[in-house]
A and B are shown apart, each in its own frame.
Chain A
Amino acid sequence: MRRGLRARGSLQRWPRNLKLGVGLMIAWILVAVFGPMLLPGNPTTMDLMNSLHPPSLAFPFGTDNLGRGVFTRVVYGSRIDLQIALFCVVPAFVIGTMVGMSAGYFGGTTDVVSMRLVDVAVAFPFFVAVIAIVAVLGPGLKNMYIAVACVGWVSYARITRAEILVVKQTDYVQAARLLGFSDRRILARHILPNVIVQALVYATSDAVLDIFLGSSLGWLGLGAQPPLPEWGLIIADGYSFVSQAPWISGFPGLAIVLLAVSLSLLGDGLADALRPELGRA
C-alpha cells in the first residue's frame, strides 16, 4: 500500500474521495479519543427532570426518556462503534489472509479443505450466521467478536487466494524460488505486499458491514448491553418514542450513516489510488 501511494505522488495527487475519506476518518478518531474528555456530561447519569427534551443549545441532540443527553451518548458511543469495527475486522483480516495465502500458495489438501470450509460459510448470510452463533454463546460484544471471527475470515481468504494464484506465476516470485528462498520469506516479503492491497480495500467495506452488524445486534439486544451508549442500542431505546421524541433514534442513526459513508469514501479512494486504471471510470 505504501509503495502504491508513493508512486501516485504527493498528497495533492490523491483522488478526491481518498482525501475526503482519510479526513473524515481522522475526524472520527479524534471525536472518539478526545470527545468524551471535552464533554461535561456523563453518558449514563440519569436526570429525570430533563427527560425527552427536544434538541436545544444545552442538549444539541435532545435528551432521552431518562434525561441523558443524546449528543453525549452519541459521542461516547463512537468509541464503542469504532471498537466494533476494529475488533471485527482485524481478526477476520489476519485469519483470512493467512488461510488464503497458504491455500493459494501451497495448494493441495490445504487448499481443498479451506475452500470447502469457505463454501459452507458463504451459504449462510453473514448476519444470520453471526446471530446464530451469538444465540448459543449468549449476547454481548465479546461473543459477537468471536462469532465474527468464526465467519468473517471467509471473504478475506477468497480474495487473497485468488490474488495469490495470479502472483504465484509472476517472474519475480519464480526468481525468488530459483534463488532458493524459503517459502516463508517468499510469502512474507514478495507475495504479501502485493496481495494485501485487495484485502485492505475489502477491509474498509467489511468495516462498514461490521458497524452495521454491531449496531444491529445492539439494537436487537444481542450485542452491547445497556447502559452502554452503543449507537444501535440508543436507537432501540428511542423506538418507543418514535412520535414524541424522534431525535433519540434519529441522531445516532445519522452518526452510523456518516461513519459508514466516511469508511466507504476511504475504501473507494484507496481502490482508485491503488488501481488507477480501474478508478475514475
Chain B
Amino acid sequence: MLNYILRRLLLMIPVAFGITLAVFLLVRLIPGDPARAILGIHATPALMAAVRTRLGLDRGIGMQYLLYIKHLVQGDFGISYYYGQPVSQLVLTRMVPTLVLLLYSTIISLLIAIPAGLLAGTRQGRGTDHALRVVATAGLGLPSYWTGFILILLFSVTFHIFPIAGYGNTWGARLYNLFLPALTCALNVAPLVMRALRTSLGEALGAGFIDTARAKGLPGNVVLLSHALRVAILPALNVLGLNIGFLVGNTVLVENVFAVPGLGQLMISSIGTRDYPTIQMVTLMFGVIVVLIYLVTDLGQILLDPRVRRSELG
C-alpha cells in the first residue's frame, strides 16, 4: 500500500511541474506589455520597473520560469495588487469556505443520489424509474447560477427560511448559511451519481451472490442494502470523483451567487481588479485541489474494493 502511494506521488511530480508551468504561462498570455497591463496606464516608471524585475521580464522565458518556481518553493506567491497582502495568506483564508462548500455539497448530493438510485435501480423499466430518469436529465440541465436564483426566490424571498447570501462566524451559522449554495451544487452532481448507481445496482442485482443471499432466506432489504449496494456504490463514488472538476467549477459560480467568501469569489473579483498574482494562485490552488481529490478517489477505490486492490497492488 505504502509503495503504491509513493508511486502515485512520484507520478504527480510531472503533473505538478505541468500545472505550475501552465499557471506561469497564463500571465505571459497577457497581450502587450504585462507590466503595463498589470499596473494600468497611470503607473510610474519606477513601479513598472519593479514589476518587470519581479516577473524577470528582462530575462529569457526559461529563466523566468525558474524564477517563478524559486518563488513558489520559498512560499512566496507574490503580493496581491489589490489587497496589498501576501497572496498566500489571502488564498489560504479563502480556501476554507470553498472546501466546506465542496464537502457539504458532496454529502448532500449523496443523500439525494443514493435513495434515488436505489429506487430507480430496483424498479428498472417501471414508472418510478422513468420519472426519476426524467428528473435526472432535467437536473443535469440546470445552470447552477440560475438554480441558485430559483432557490433564493423560493426559500429566501418567498418563505424566508434561508438567507440570500452570507457565510457566518460560527460553524452552526455557516452550515445554515451554506445550505442553499451546497444544495445548488448538489443538484448538478446528484443526477450523475444517481445514474451511475442505477446502472451498477442493476448489474449487481443480477449477480450470482445476490441469488445465493436470497436463497439463504435473507430479507429483501438486507440483501439490497448490505449485499447489492455495497458493490454497486463503488462505481457511483468513482463517478463522483471523476466529476469533481465539474463540481469545483460550479462552486465558483455558486460562491458568486450567494456571496460566499471563497476562492471562486476571490477569483472573479480579482479579474475585475486585474489582480494577476491572485488569479494565478487561485488557479493553481484549484488545480492542486482537483489533483488531490483524484488521488483520494483512487486510494479510496483501493481501500474499498478488493478487486481493484488486487489489480493495482499485484
Contacts and interface: CB of A to CB of B under 8 A. Distances in A.
A281 B124 CA distance: 8
A152 to B, nearest CB: 13
B246 interface: yes
Contacts of A264: 137, 140-141
A128 B248 contact: yes
Question: Main SS of the interface on chain A?
Answer: helix
A122 B27 contact: no
Interface string B280-306: 000100110011000000000000000
B143 A256 contact: yes
A232 interface: yes
Nearest to A259: B141
Given A132-B279, A208-B141, A257-B138, A123 B19 contact: yes
B287 A123 contact: yes
A253 to B, nearest CB: 4
B146 A125 contact: no
B92 to A, nearest CB: 18
B252 A120 contact: no
Interface in A226-267: 232, 235, 238-239, 242-243, 246, 249-250, 253, 256-261, 264-265
Interface string B231-260: 000000000000011101110110010000
Contacts of A126: 245-246, 249
Contact of A242 (B143, B157, B291): B157
A136 B145 contact: no
A123 B290 contact: yes
Interface hub of A131, A137, A246 (most chain B Cβ within 10 A):
A131
Contact of B29 (A133, A261, A265, A281): A133
A17 B102 CA distance: 33
B143 A127 contact: no
Interface hub of A209, A220, A256 (most chain B Cβ within 10 A):
A220
Interface hub of B29, B124, B146, B244 (most chain A Cβ within 10 A):
B146
A119 interface: yes
A165 interface: no
A216 B19 contact: no
Contacts of B210: none
B111 interface: no
B10 to A, nearest CB: 14
Nearest to B31: A137
B63 interface: no
Interface of A: 116-117, 119-129, 131-138, 208-209, 212, 215-216, 219-220, 222, 232, 235, 238-239, 242-243, 246, 249-250, 253, 256-261, 264-265, 268, 281
Interface of B: 14-15, 18-19, 21-22, 26-27, 29-31, 124, 137-138, 140-146, 149-150, 152-153, 157, 199, 202, 244-246, 248-250, 252-253, 256, 267-268, 270-271, 276, 279, 283, 286-287, 290-291
Given A123-B287, A133-B29, A220-B253, 6 more contacts: A133-B26, A135-B270, A257-B146, A259-B141, A261-B141, A281-B124
